[in-house]
A and B are shown apart, each in its own frame.
Chain A
Amino acid sequence: MNNKKSLLQRAAAAPHIVWSVLFIIAPLIFVIYYAFTDSEGKFTFENIANLSQPSYLEIFLRSVCFAFLATIICLVIAYPIAYFITKASPKTQKILIMLVMLPMWMNFLIRTYSWMALLEDSGIINTVLGFIGLGPIHMINTEGAVILGMVYNFLPYMILPIHSVLSKIDTRLLEAASDLGCNHFQVITKVVFPLSIPGIISGITMVFVPSISTFYISQKLGGGNFDLIGDTIERQFQTAYNYNLGAAMSFILMILIIISMTIMNKYADDDGGVII
């Protein structure tokens, strides 16, 4: 009787398990299947081999570098702001966090499009610069613009987890540290920073993964001159009709991400003791 009941209780997970097998595992198997077959369905390594051409290697390298820089810049911008927010009164804190989250509710496509209007040669920023007598600065369709787009879109994902960790730090620890002779700077570097590593790690993941796989930002702000992994995948599926190459690219992207995660987790284990 009891056994039956618990079986029944566990069966509650059944729809989810079926769903996961059908729509999570099966699709991933299809990615691998397409990655290792040609258009007739025959097994081949050609797709993967194709991706080792210098031009594709450069796309991978470029994507990794752009995502890496965007992540670092996000971290550098986000950490202080998360810290300052925790210093505010609870009520202000709530409002500020709300303000950080608010842009995420707006469609990211239209916000990115809006950046185009700002950055163009005849755009708003250059018009303003023109008024104060500074020459037009070419910003759109450069590497910088693409990275800026990434930083802009994913910055809240860095601020929020860091803030959440920082706000949970026991203030008594900070007091203890100052009592024991740490100056303000030391309190931050010796106590606050090590304690906030879990937040940093999850922030990094939440920025790096979407940055390395984005395809819209680079097309709009890079003018199609800086093909990233996401752009290449998107093109195979939406215009070039070459699913096999696209699947191979996605497969490699997944592996790239798994490797970075593993490395991150290893250091997270060593340092902060948090597994994401």
Chain B
Amino acid sequence: MKRKTAGNIYTVLVFIFLYMPIAVLILFSFNSSSSTGRFDGFSLRWYKELFSDAATLEALKNTLILAVLSAAIATVIGTLAAYGINKIKNKHLKNGITSVTNVPMMNPEIVTGISMMLLFVFVGGLVNSKTVLGFGTVLIAHVTFNLPYVILSVMPKFKQMDKHLPEAALDLGCTPVQSFLKVELPQILPGIISGFIMAFTLSLDDFVISYFTVGSGFETLPIRIYSMTKKRVTPDMYALSTLIFVAILVLLILSNISGDKEKKTLTLKQKKRRKIVLVSTFSVIAAITLGLFIGTSFAEVVTVNVYNWGEYISDGSEDEDGVASVDTNKEFEKYYSEYLSEQYGRKVKVKVNYTTYASNEDLYAKLKAGAGGYDVIIPSDYMIERLIKEELIQPIASREEITNVIKNYDYLLRAPSEGKTLTKEEAEIFQKPFYDNGDDVYSVMYTYGVIGIVYNADHVSEEDIGGWDLLWNEKYSGKILQFNNARDAFGTAMYKLGVNVNDPTAEQWQACLNELIKQKPIVQSYVMDEVFNKMESGEAWIAPYYVGDALSMIYQAEQRGINLDFYYPTDENGETVTNVFADAMCIPVDVSEEQKTHAIAYIDFMLSVDEKYGAPAIANAEYIYYASPNRLVYTNPDYLATLDGDEEIIYEPMSNINELFDKYAYRNLSSQNLSTLNSNWEALKVESSSFNGTIYVISAIIAAAIIGYIVFITVRKRHRRKLYWEQSPTVGTKKSSSDSSADSLSDTVTIAIKRSKSKKD
């Protein structure tokens, strides 16, 4: 009795462990605030928001389509394969095929993912295409890892089937097709169904393999969740997970109930009814998928694929007071579909496929991998320089033509500062910035800003702030965040040491690396968009970040009663030394002429202040807190009023932006510097911050214990086998074979019997 209670308690504890995060997730899906760490009251707000979150619903739809398609293809190929393999007589060939089939099952997912990515990239290189990765490649990858599971569940059915049955059917007058449909198929059907369901489930939940093989414009739910967990997960994702959880729970309960009934013998009628239910369920699923699929591919839809930084556009989310911001992408869809419909004289739907990246380097790697298919990307200055050099982006128009192409282009103007007139060159800095000042225009500036340091004013004392060394202050060990991208992270060390960020010497590179290695033990983590959550929740206290995001953090944190502040670091002379950057909209080189017109329309729209469509340029500036180079924006009194004093920080660099760009902007590094930067970054990343021997010692002890135990068992077994042979030679000659479990069973029991006997003696 006692043992049973202990067992029950243990079981309950394990289940608490398994369900604790899920409970947290369900609880916070009902949170009234956007926090995923503090419960502020019950509300259904996030469920409401979920159903207006087009991107998430789209991702859900994509995931379902992908899962059904890949499972269906895998089921067809797999069933055929199981049938064929079963007929193969040559044992070696059979084994060979089976072991190759099982490779994706045994290999770590990441290896499967990257191996397929390498194949696709290579093939893309061969056909000189920059857009290999996409829906097709994910589909191929999913079919590949689904196949072994389908074969695994169908194969036994073929093996179990009585070979004579189809023969008998043929003898009795069936045609081969009839014999297959009436005799063989019904017998293997359960295997096929379970194979399909397994494949469907695996595909539905797969993240790792999709992550490496997915391209632009196609986001599955796990991929979307991944990019969300990189910044902040909005509770509407929790709401979706809760709904999925409940749906699966209900399904499992239902199947459990029907499974109980299955045991009873069914009458023919019941069987028929079950068949009808089964067939109709399948056809409903198929119809829905087909409908979704047709809906996406055959109606006239213009899609614009936009790849932007995280948290870098006004996205229609509500603030704490429940006031919704403008969803600029949605406004563009509205505007452009009206425009095109009028133009073409028929209804055209416009869709913005909006995905995000965390750093310039991520964007670059994606572009290089051939995950193209983006129509608009928004890299930073130095990256634009590099992309132009490597011919990865195309000219939008020539400099003379640009104002005809981008109607709002002329509003990119610097404001004259008080009492000083600007030369033409100075005024047009936003049109002809250092990274793009040739005869062709490659980029249209989106925002500009400065890197500064955000800190928690409740914990960081005033005397410590001011310079870059705050990031190295051991007093705040474990509360400091650092950039998770090479350029910005090394930038912090370079500014601290007073090194030229665009051309350091070899010694300076080494000094910076040492500086960052020195910093590593006190860094809580290396982050990009994760910084929002960590600073706003008070989990971290100090972080270098871009000004707009910093202000947005300060505002969000204020709502939660956390007091953040921000400064531009200065050197010992009191002069500000930090990075000034600009981000601009560009069009990748592989974008077709037709897509390019849509991309240009999108870029132009982002500069517009048309009230009819929510004044996108102003809405974005208000939402993301970055300085806009657009005169229509920064002179707008309503907009300035919403900034409530922050405009002084945001627009401070404007007064001498030309000099600042000259002095503080990152430039594209020489290839030698670039490779030093990359290898140094790698060196920093793999450097172990804290060598904690305990883990290794524990592992070693356990490993030693296990090896010792195995040796002990083996020796004892050998000894015993000797005894066993001596006592009962007749049984003993039948060497305990290793592939018959029945034998090892009897073996074990005999041993058990012997042991107990010897004990009695």
Q: Report yes or no: B119 in contact with A23, Cβ–Cβ below 8 A.
A: yes
For residue B270, which residues in chain A have a CB less than 8 angstroms away from its CB? none
For residue A212, which residues in chain B have a CB less than 8 angstroms away from its CB? 108
Q: Report yes or no: A117 in contact with B80, Cβ–Cβ below 8 A.
A: no
Contact with B along A16-43 (1 / 0, CB 8 A): 1101100111111011011000000000
The residue of chain A having its C-beta at the shortest distance from the C-beta of B706 within the complex is: A72
Q: Report yes or no: A16 in contact with B748, Cβ–Cβ below 8 A.
A: no
Q: Report yes or no: B538 in contact with A122, Cβ–Cβ below 8 A.
A: yes
Which of B111, B537, B688, B751 contacts A213, CB < 8 Å? B111
Interchain Cβ contacts under 8 Å between A and B, 29 examples: A10-B84, A10-B88, A16-B78, A20-B101, A23-B140, A24-B144, A26-B119, A55-B683, A64-B699, A65-B699, A80-B10, A85-B11, A96-B11, A98-B252, A103-B19, A106-B22, A109-B229, A113-B225, A113-B229, A118-B20, A121-B539, A143-B695, A170-B745, A182-B756, A190-B755, A195-B745, A233-B110, A272-B744, A273-B744
Closest Cβ of chain B to A42, distance in Å, is 16
Contact with A along B468-512 (1 / 0, CB 8 A): 000000000010000011100000000000000000000000000
Question: A85-113: which residues lie under 8 A (CB-CB) from chain B?
Answer: 85, 87, 94-96, 98-100, 102-113
Closest Cβ of chain B to A200, distance in Å, is 12
Q: Report yes or no: A215 in contact with B110, Cβ–Cβ below 8 A.
A: yes
Contact with A along B303-334 (1 / 0, CB 8 A): 00000000000000000000000000000000
Contact with B along A182-224 (1 / 0, CB 8 A): 1000100011001100100000000001101101100010011
Residue B196 at the chain A interface, CB threshold 8 Å: no
For residue B526, which residues in chain A have a CB less than 8 angstroms away from its CB? 223-224
Of B240-248, B377-385, B580-588, the stretch lying at the interface with chain A is B240-248
A-B contact sample (18 more), CB < 8 A, given A138-B478, A177-B753: A15-B77, A58-B686, A100-B18, A107-B221, A107-B225, A109-B225, A117-B37, A122-B37, A122-B537, A177-B752, A210-B109, A216-B207, A227-B688, A232-B685, A239-B362, A250-B110, A250-B115, A275-B739
Q: Report yes or no: B484 in contact with A224, Cβ–Cβ below 8 A.
A: yes
For residue B694, which residues in chain A have a CB less than 8 angstroms away from its CB? 143
Minimum-distance CB pairs A-B, first 9 = A13-B84, A223-B525, A16-B81, A213-B108, A27-B115, A12-B84, A114-B21, A181-B756, A30-B118
Q: Report if A261-B106 is in contact (Cβ < 8 Å); known contacts: A55-B683, A124-B37.
A: yes
Which of B365, B690, B738 contacts A238, CB < 8 Å? B365
For residue A114, which residues in chain B have a CB less than 8 angstroms away from its CB? 21-22, 24-25
Q: Report yes or no: A239 in contact with B361, Cβ–Cβ below 8 A.
A: yes
CA distance A61 to B106 in the complex (A): 21
Question: B714-761: which residues lie under 8 A (CB-CB) from chain A?
Answer: 714, 737-741, 743-745, 748-749, 751-753, 755-757, 759-760
Residue A167 at the chain B interface, CB threshold 8 Å: no
Q: Report yes or no: A20 in contact with B97, Cβ–Cβ below 8 A.
A: yes
Q: Report yes or no: A28 in contact with B103, Cβ–Cβ below 8 A.
A: yes
Closest Cβ of chain A to B365, distance in Å, is 4
Residue B678 at the chain A interface, CB threshold 8 Å: yes
* Residue with the greatest number of chain A CB neighbours at <10 A, chosen from B20, B21, B24: B21
Residue B274 at the chain A interface, CB threshold 8 Å: no
For residue A108, which residues in chain B have a CB less than 8 angstroms away from its CB? 205, 207
CA distance A228 to B154 in the complex (A): 37
Residue A259 at the chain B interface, CB threshold 8 Å: no
Q: Chain A interface secondary structure, helix, strand, loop or mixed?
A: helix
Q: Report if A118-B21 is in contact (Cβ < 8 Å); known contacts: A9-B84, A273-B740.
A: yes
* Residue with the greatest number of chain B CB neighbours at <10 A, chosen from A103, A186, A224: A224
The residue of chain B having its C-beta at the shortest distance from the C-beta of A176 within the complex is: B749
For residue B18, which residues in chain A have a CB less than 8 angstroms away from its CB? 99-100, 103, 152, 155-156
Interface size class of A (residues with CB under 8 A): 35 or more
For residue B362, which residues in chain A have a CB less than 8 angstroms away from its CB? 238-239
Which of A28, A109, A173 contacts B749, CB < 8 Å? A173
Residue B643 at the chain A interface, CB threshold 8 Å: no
CA distance A37 to B633 in the complex (A): 52
Residue B614 at the chain A interface, CB threshold 8 Å: no
Question: A57-71: which residues lie under 8 A (CB-CB) from chain B?
Answer: 58-59, 61-62, 64-66, 68-69
Which of B28, B78, B119 contacts A30, CB < 8 Å? B119
Contact with B along A221-263 (1 / 0, CB 8 A): 0011111001011110111111101110010011001000100
The residue of chain B having its C-beta at the shortest distance from the C-beta of A113 within the complex is: B229
Q: Report yes or no: A59 in contact with B686, Cβ–Cβ below 8 A.
A: yes
Residue A45 at the chain B interface, CB threshold 8 Å: no
CA distance A65 to B701 in the complex (A): 11
Question: B105-141: which residues lie under 8 A (CB-CB) from chain A?
Answer: 106-112, 114-119, 121-122, 140-141
CA distance A238 to B226 in the complex (A): 13
Q: Report yes or no: A102 in contact with B24, Cβ–Cβ below 8 A.
A: no
Q: Report yes or no: A234 in contact with B110, Cβ–Cβ below 8 A.
A: yes
CA distance A189 to B690 in the complex (A): 40
For residue A129, which residues in chain B have a CB less than 8 angstroms away from its CB? none
The residue of chain B having its C-beta at the shortest distance from the C-beta of A98 within the complex is: B252
Q: Report yes or no: B87 in contact with A224, Cβ–Cβ below 8 A.
A: no
Q: Report yes or no: B84 in contact with A180, Cβ–Cβ below 8 A.
A: no
CA distance A171 to B538 in the complex (A): 56
The residue of chain A having its C-beta at the shortest distance from the C-beta of B754 within the complex is: A180
For residue A17, which residues in chain B have a CB less than 8 angstroms away from its CB? 81, 97
Closest Cβ of chain A to B90, distance in Å, is 10
Which of B147, B248, B523, B683 contacts A19, CB < 8 Å? B147
The residue of chain B having its C-beta at the shortest distance from the C-beta of A239 within the complex is: B361
Closest Cβ of chain A to B196, distance in Å, is 16
CA distance A25 to B99 in the complex (A): 11
Which of A155, A225, A227 contacts B525, CB < 8 Å? A225
CA distance A115 to B233 in the complex (A): 13
Q: Report yes or no: B115 in contact with A84, Cβ–Cβ below 8 A.
A: no
CA distance A246 to B369 in the complex (A): 14
Residue B283 at the chain A interface, CB threshold 8 Å: no
Residue A120 at the chain B interface, CB threshold 8 Å: yes
The residue of chain A having its C-beta at the shortest distance from the C-beta of B714 within the complex is: A270
Q: Report yes or no: B698 in contact with A111, Cβ–Cβ below 8 A.
A: no
Which of A81, A124, A237 contacts B11, CB < 8 Å? A81
Residue A14 at the chain B interface, CB threshold 8 Å: yes
The residue of chain A having its C-beta at the shortest distance from the C-beta of B359 within the complex is: A239
CA distance A110 to B141 in the complex (A): 23
Q: Report yes or no: B116 in contact with A195, Cβ–Cβ below 8 A.
A: no
The residue of chain B having its C-beta at the shortest distance from the C-beta of A104 within the complex is: B205
Q: Report yes or no: A240 in contact with B688, Cβ–Cβ below 8 A.
A: no
CA distance A114 to B23 in the complex (A): 9
Contact with B along A141-175 (1 / 0, CB 8 A): 10100000000100110000000000000100100
The residue of chain A having its C-beta at the shortest distance from the C-beta of B368 within the complex is: A241
Q: Report yes or no: B114 in contact with A233, Cβ–Cβ below 8 A.
A: yes
Residue B689 at the chain A interface, CB threshold 8 Å: yes
Q: Report yes or no: B365 in contact with A103, Cβ–Cβ below 8 A.
A: no
For residue A62, which residues in chain B have a CB less than 8 angstroms away from its CB? 688, 695
* Residue with the greatest number of chain A CB neighbours at <10 A, chosen from B201, B538, B749: B749
Closest Cβ of chain B to A222, distance in Å, is 8
CA distance A25 to B104 in the complex (A): 10
Q: Report yes or no: A25 in contact with B100, Cβ–Cβ below 8 A.
A: yes
The residue of chain A having its C-beta at the shortest distance from the C-beta of B537 within the complex is: A122
Residue B696 at the chain A interface, CB threshold 8 Å: yes
Q: Report yes or no: A247 in contact with B77, Cβ–Cβ below 8 A.
A: no
Residue B249 at the chain A interface, CB threshold 8 Å: yes
Q: Report yes or no: A111 in contact with B740, Cβ–Cβ below 8 A.
A: no
Residue B288 at the chain A interface, CB threshold 8 Å: no
Q: Report yes or no: B221 in contact with A180, Cβ–Cβ below 8 A.
A: no
Closest Cβ of chain A to B254, distance in Å, is 12
Residue A6 at the chain B interface, CB threshold 8 Å: yes
The residue of chain A having its C-beta at the shortest distance from the C-beta of B244 within the complex is: A106
Residue A11 at the chain B interface, CB threshold 8 Å: yes
The residue of chain B having its C-beta at the shortest distance from the C-beta of A223 within the complex is: B525
* Residue with the greatest number of chain B CB neighbours at <10 A, chosen from A27, A77, A177: A27
Q: Report if A56-B22 is in contact (Cβ < 8 Å); known contacts: A110-B225, A181-B759, A209-B108.
A: no
For residue B162, which residues in chain A have a CB less than 8 angstroms away from its CB? none
CA distance A107 to B221 in the complex (A): 9
Residue B267 at the chain A interface, CB threshold 8 Å: no
Residue B442 at the chain A interface, CB threshold 8 Å: no
Closest Cβ of chain A to B445, distance in Å, is 25
